[in-house]
Structure 1
Amino acid sequence: MLKEFREFALRGNVLDMAVGIIIGAAFTTIVTSLVSDIIMPPIGVLLGGVDFSSYFVSLSREAAPVSLEAAKAAGVPVIAYGKFINAVINFTIVAFALFMVIRQMNRLKERIAKGQEPEAAAPPRQEVLLEEIRDLLKVRG
């Protein structure tokens, strides 16, 4: 069983997947920073400084807490729908950013593929004439 596990763990696909996961985790950090530190502040300014993260609905029948932090500190059950709205906005921005990156990569791959493929050009005139001469000699001889 140990031998089988070692063979499984050392397969190329498993190693490739591990590298992909590690790079994906690092990429997630970069994308999260891009969204929260670079993209969301201008969107917040455009929307008049709206911060959805503090929006919530209290599920308690007692007096509603003043803020989400106060509700959490008091142990009051809440639906923090503002955080969900922020998560949806972040997802949309990340998905669009990834779409743009992948779109550009696909275009680059197409350009590279077109540049590497030799064009199907007609053979030089000399070769055509030599082939005709060869064919005539076959017929005569």
Structure 2
Amino acid sequence: MLKGFKEFIMKGNVVDFAVAVVIGGAFALVVNALVNSVLMPFIAGLVGSPNFDSFLLWNFNGNEVAFGVLLTAIVNFLLVAAAIYFVVVAPMNHMIERRNRRLGITEEEDALDPQIVLLTEIRDALQAGNRR
């Protein structure tokens, strides 16, 4: 069962992409819940407001310029980015490092695309054949 799942994950086709989009949409709900229900109330406890919309108001020739709305959007973006990094990216990188150590793959070997290695060998063989 896990072998079949691993083969499914390693494929690169449209069905996999569709599944990723659906899972990404569901994951967005989780990240938004984390930001809105955990992180923003924590910030509200620190600064006294769950958002900065009313902060940094400036009146310019009778028009209200609300820099606080921009500040709220920036803070929300940074919180979402941090949540994605610490919940998805960091654990995935750790898992990849562990797998590579277990398989004995170095960073240099991992960085080289097998197709490029093969093409390089073919080029070198052709150059050696032309020198004869």
Q: 1:81 and 1:57 mapped to 2: Cα distance?
A: 8
Q: How does 1:1-141 map to 2 (within 5 A)?
A: 13-49=13-49, 51-55=51-55, 61=62, 80-100=66-86, 101-117=88-104
Question: With CA pairs under 8 Å and 6+ residues apart, which has the higher RCO, 1 or 2?
Answer: 1
TM-score normalized by the length of structure 1: 0.52
- Sequence identity (%): 36
What are the Cα deviations for residues 107-128 of structure 1, in whole angstroms up to 9, with x where unaligned?
121112212349xxxxxxxxxx
* Aligned residue type for 1:115: R
Q: Which amino acid aligns with 1:46?
A: L
Superposition RMSD in Å: 2.8
Structure-2 change in CA distance of 1:110 and 1:46 (3 Å): same
- Structure whose alpha-carbon radius of gyration is higher: 1
- 2:3 paired residue number: none
CA drift of 1:30 comes to 0.8
Cα offset for 1:39?
0.6
**Residues 60 and 13 of structure 1, relative CA distance in 2, 3 Å threshold:** farther
Q: Which runs of 4+ in 1 moved over 6 A?
A: none
Unmatched 5+ residue regions in structure 1?
1-11, 65-77, 119-141
The one-letter amino acid paired with 2:26 is: A
Structure 2 unaligned spans of 5+: 1-11, 106-132
Q: Tell me how far apart the structure 2 counterparts of residues 59 and 33 of structure 1 sit (CA, whole Å).
A: 36
TM-score by length of 2: 0.55
